Every structure is written in structure tokens, then in C-alpha cells.
Structure 1
Amino acid sequence: MLNNKIYTKRCHRYNVAGDAHELTFSCYDNRPFLSVERVCKYLVYSIISSRNKHQFSLWAYVFMPNHVHLLICPTKQQYSISDILLSIKQPVSRKAVNYLKNNNPDGLKYLATSQKYRPYRFWQKGGGYDRNITKTKTIFDLVHYIHNNPVRKGLVETSDQWYYSSASDWLDGRQGPIPIDFDSFPTI
């Protein structure tokens, strides 16, 4: 006989000093909200602001139309990945909803939920994906994986052609929208 317990999916976060974190989070309903330039600018500002507030190094990133990959390494001994994610995602959500309310109310239907307490959602429910990284080789592999996302999806031919990515920072030294913290990146 089945029990009547309701199970909720939980994302376990491990805040281990010195560990890098691969973070992935998606737009609500897998919608391509990040194909809008204005929204990407909100996200750029939010990541920079969060980095300053929570003191983490940013080693790689890519904004895909419907999700984001970040490779970060907190520099403080005590930190909370949940707080970092909240400080990145929440301002973007609020700005996007406010923009639509004031400029394009019909667009709110794409963010609409059936929940009374939260009528709109920009990001997919839950914290997204968080993986602690301890091996230098894995960090190098992740930089490559993150940068090649737009290539794998057929959006560009080479990773440095995708604007909202750190690929050009890594490949030819052209700075993308968010500066990369090369000085704290591990060496082999």
C-alpha cells in the first residue's frame, strides 16, 4: 500500500570553504526569457552586484536563452550558495516583472503561475543545480563545457561568438559583459 506522504525535491548545498561551484538555473517553464537584451543586462548587473556583496570569484559564465551557467568560487570561509543565488536571481525577477507591468502587461502571461501567493515566476522553481568542484582538471573541463553550450545548441559556430559568455575573455582576451577573475583561477 502506498503511503500518503508528499515528497518534495530538495537541492542540497554544501558550503565548503575553498570549493568552486558550478551553478545552473533555468527560466520558468524553460522559456527563452534571456533572449531579451534588457533581461541579460539585468542579469549582468545582478551577478556583478552579488559578487561584490558575497565576495566570490567568477571564472566562467554563459547566458543561454533559457538557462544560465556560472562557475564561481567564494573567497570567504563562511558563505551561503543559497544566499548568492538569491541575490543574483531575485533582482532579475523583480525588474522583469516590473518592466512588464509598466510597459507590456500582456507579456505577464508568460510568467503567470496558478499560485495565489506568487502570481508570476521568472526562474524555474527550486534552486537549480549546484555542484561543488574540488579538482583543478574538473574546473578546466567545466570552463570548456560552459563556453561550448551555445555551440552545442547550434546558436554559433565558435564559442567566442556568443556575447553573453566569458569565452572571449578566455580565448582572445576580449572582455565580455562581466569581468573574469583570472587572478584567482587555479593553475595546473
Structure 2
Amino acid sequence: MQGHRKQLRRFHEPGDVHELTFSNYRQLELLTRDDWRQMLCQSIDRAIANHKYRLVAFVLMTNHVHLLVFPTEVRPGELPDLDVLLSAIKRPFSYRVKQMLIAEKSPLLHELTVLERPGKPAFRFWQEGAGYDRNLRTEKSLLGSIDYIHANPVRAGLVARPGEWKWSSARWYESDKRIVDPELPTIHGLPPEAFG
């Protein structure tokens, strides 16, 4: 019996802020190590810079990630390729984690290795598929999304208020852009032209 695979229709509009969510394999609590979180932040930073996006807001949770991104260079008639951006974030990070698990002889390596087909093992840090995305076209929806993203660690019971969670852009916003943590990806905030 073929496994059901959810089909996600993606809408890539040039002037929109995009809310992206992607999860760990089988929703496992894998993002608990600070060294892995720092590696993921580096991967996000490189991909955002190389693919010409602004990082508006983010949060790293233990089993998923939320990003708000805004494309800065889209040619007329073209749409931003969010799949390329996500691949540029997830693939290098996953490769580095796999190498660490091999070096550590960690049993987690076996747990995250699946058979794609007979005789073809594959390492899976991230859940397969497109994840979730939506376009934010109004200031109200954008601000609501930022609040929702920043409140994730509070809802999960990890902290009492959003700014206490290191692995998000909440402190940057709460401090009016004064708190810049070098271990986090560069936060650009919302460009003034986002909603005209």
C-alpha cells in the first residue's frame, strides 16, 4: 500500500513575507543541543544571505522551526523559490549532524537512518515533504505571525515569556533591535517596502 503524502500548494508571490515551518523527522525532539542549534543558525544565516532574503523573525523549537522571510531580489515575472532556500538551510545542517553522530558513534544515527528503497539507506533529520508555508500580505497578519512565532516556547512550557528563549528573534524585537546575539542568525526585521 502506498503511503499517503500530503500535497501542498505553494504560493510564491514576490512582494509577500513568507512564513515557513518545517519539522524534525517524526517530530522527534532533536533540536535540544546548543551546538546543533548554533549550526542551524549558521545554516540559516548563510542561506538567507546567499539566496537574497531578509530574515524577519524566527524561532527554533526542539522539534520544529518557524521562519519569516522576505525576498529582496525577485526579477519581474519571476517568483521566489522557497524550496531552494529551505534546501540550502536543511541539507548542509543535516550533513553536519550526520557527521557528528558518526564521529560520536551515537545510536541516534541508526534511529534517523531509513531505507528509501531496498539497499538504499538515507539519513533523515528533517521530516520529508514541503512543510508548511503561507504568505503574509498585510501588516496585521505579519505582526500576528511574529507574536505567534515568538510565543511558541511559552506555549511549550520552556520559558515564562518569549524574550527568555535564546533561540528566537524575540529579544531582538523586545530590545528595539539593541540585543544582537552573535550565535543567532542575522535578523533584518521588516523592510519598509513590504506592504507598500
> TM-score, normalization: structure 1?
0.90
Mapped to 2, the partners of 1:6 and 1:40 lie a distance apart of 31
Matching residue of 1:109: 110
Higher mean alpha-carbon deviation, 82-91 vs 101-110, is at: 101-110
**Which runs of structure 2 are paired with 1:56-135 in the superposition (5 Å)?**
56-77=53-74, 78=78, 79-115=80-116, 116-135=119-138
Whether the aligned pair in 1 keeps the contact of 2:94 and 2:125 (CA below 8 Å) is: yes
* 1:175 aligned onto 2:180: yes
Among the aligned pairs, what percent are the same residue? 34
**What secondary structure is seen at the aligned counterpart in 1 of 2:85?**
helix
Q: Deviations over 1:15-63 (max 9, x none)?
A: 2111111000000011111111121111111111001111111111000
* Aligned counterpart in structure 2 of residue 52 of structure 1, from 41, 45, 49: 49
Whether the aligned pair in 1 keeps the contact of 2:137 and 2:195 (CA below 8 Å) is: no
* Aligned counterpart in structure 2 of residue 162 of structure 1, from 149, 160, 165: 165
**Which runs of structure 2 are paired with 1:6-25 in the superposition (5 Å)?**
8-25=5-22
Mapped to 1, the partners of 2:174 and 2:23 lie a distance apart of 26
**What secondary structure is seen at the aligned counterpart in 2 of 1:24?**
strand
* Bigger proportion of residues as helix: 1
**Deviation at residue 6 of structure 1 after TM alignment:** 7.4
Name which structure has the greater RCO, CA cutoff 8 Å, separation 6+: 2
Mapped to 1, the partners of 2:87 and 2:121 lie a distance apart of 16
Whether the aligned pair in 1 keeps the contact of 2:56 and 2:190 (CA below 8 Å) is: no
Higher mean alpha-carbon deviation, 102-111 vs 148-157, is at: 102-111
* AA partner of residue 174 (structure 1): I
Mapped to 2, the partners of 1:34 and 1:105 lie a distance apart of 15
Structure 2: tracts of 5 or more residues without a match: none
Cα 1:43–1:5 shift into 2, 3 Å:
closer
Whether the aligned pair in 2 keeps the contact of 1:89 and 1:123 (CA below 8 Å) is: yes
* 1:137 aligned onto 2:137: no
* AA partner of residue 153 (structure 2): P
**Deviation at residue 171 of structure 1 after TM alignment:** 0.3
> TM-score, normalization: structure 2?
0.87
**What secondary structure is seen at the aligned counterpart in 2 of 1:13?**
coil
**What secondary structure is seen at the aligned counterpart in 1 of 2:120?**
coil
Structure 1: tracts of 5 or more residues without a match: none
* AA partner of residue 9 (structure 1): K
